[in-house]
Amino acid sequence: MDCNGYRQENHDQNLFPKPKVLVLEPPPVFIYHEDKLSQKFHFLKAWDSPLPLDQFLTTHAHSVQAILSHGSCPVTTNTIRLLPSLGLIVTTSAGLDQIDLQECRRRGVSVAYAGSLFSADVADIAVGLLIDALRKISAGNRYVTQGLWANNGDFSLGSKLGGRKVGIVGLGSIGLEVGKRLEPFGCNILYCSRNKKSSVSYPYYSNVCELAANCEVLIICCELNDQTRHVINKEVLLALGKKGLIINVGRGAIIDEQEMVRCLMQGEIAGAGLDVFENEPHVPSELISLDNVVLSPHRAVHTEETLMALVDLVIGNLEAFFSNKPLLSPVLLDE
């Protein structure tokens, strides 16, 4: 760019400054696509400042109208109260447990989220974890790479997916996608959700323990809230039984993790496929040592294609807010 072009760009930026958006911690979409996002907005990087967070927020209190957040970055009551001009929180997550929605409602702060953008990717991982756990793909890989095949002979038998009774906990957009993928395998789908869904013919259970007692696989797809925290407890796991598998693509704290570890160690359930954990990134050492457990580092939503779509959704929501237009993917806080 020549000097005149540089001066013109600076002049335009002075006349039309980019809207300021606070980022407490960088979400993956920001890490991979900061350049594209920064073309539209000026990001205040709290994690990059030497100031304590409260002091950083106080410094920018009156200029911050929007926050860009993600699933493992809490937006607390204190953060919201320190930002009197705040009008929008955009989270790159489909879950909302990390945001104080009650304070947002009280303050009139709007929230936009990923909505159903991730549903297909998460459902793919759920089915992948299930097939892996049943057919022992990861365990078989270790058996080969550790030289055990040559020394110990044939690997142990796996189990069929077809014909399994699969219980889905939370038949929202992700749960529906999971069911859609498992039907062609010949699985029998059952579900537990807040309400019975008239759009599906799957058998409905209002009680998750009853669901577990009537299926061989339990797939966790619900959101984390006060009602679902540790809803998968000892009683549910024992109801699932010694031949039962549990798959979790929801949130780690939906399962009582210590109780699940105990059940796995004592053979009270047959195995697990887990993309989420209660104290991420820390995973209980017992889970790492078990061959009947398949682990994934909370990457169900992270594909190149979906991250690109998420960039467009984030930009669209922020542009709508700063232009006083309807958000593309608003959270209905009155519900």
| 80 Cα distance to chain centroid | 23
Report field, pTM of the whole predicted structure over 0.85: yes
Q: pLDDT 10s digit of each residue in the chain, 335 long?
A: 455 544 444 444 455 689 999 999 998 898 899 999 999 999 999 999 999 999 999 999 999 999 999 988 899 999 999 999 999 999 999 989 999 999 999 999 999 999 999 999 999 999 999 999 999 999 999 999 999 999 999 999 999 999 999 999 999 999 999 999 999 999 999 999 999 999 999 999 999 999 999 999 999 999 999 999 999 999 999 999 999 999 999 999 999 999 999 999 999 999 999 999 999 999 999 999 999 999 999 999 989 999 999 999 999 999 999 999 999 999 998 75
**259 part of the active site:** no
Cβ contact 133:272 at 8 Å: yes
Residue 14 has a pLDDT of: 52
**103 part of the active site:** no
Q: How far is CA 202 from CA 20, 161, 168, 176, in A?
A: 47, 18, 10, 11
Structure tokens at 267: 């053979």
Closest CA to 272 of 250, 245, 299, 234: 245
Catalytic, out of 216, 251, 257, 259: 251
Backbone angles phi, psi at 204, to 5 degrees: -105, 135
Cβ contact 173:120 at 8 Å: no
SS3 191: strand
Return d(Cα 204, Cα 241) in angstroms, integer.
20
Catalytic, out of 34, 210, 223, 280: 280
Q: How far is CA 164 from CA 189, 240, 250, 257, in A?
A: 8, 13, 21, 25
**302 part of the active site:** no
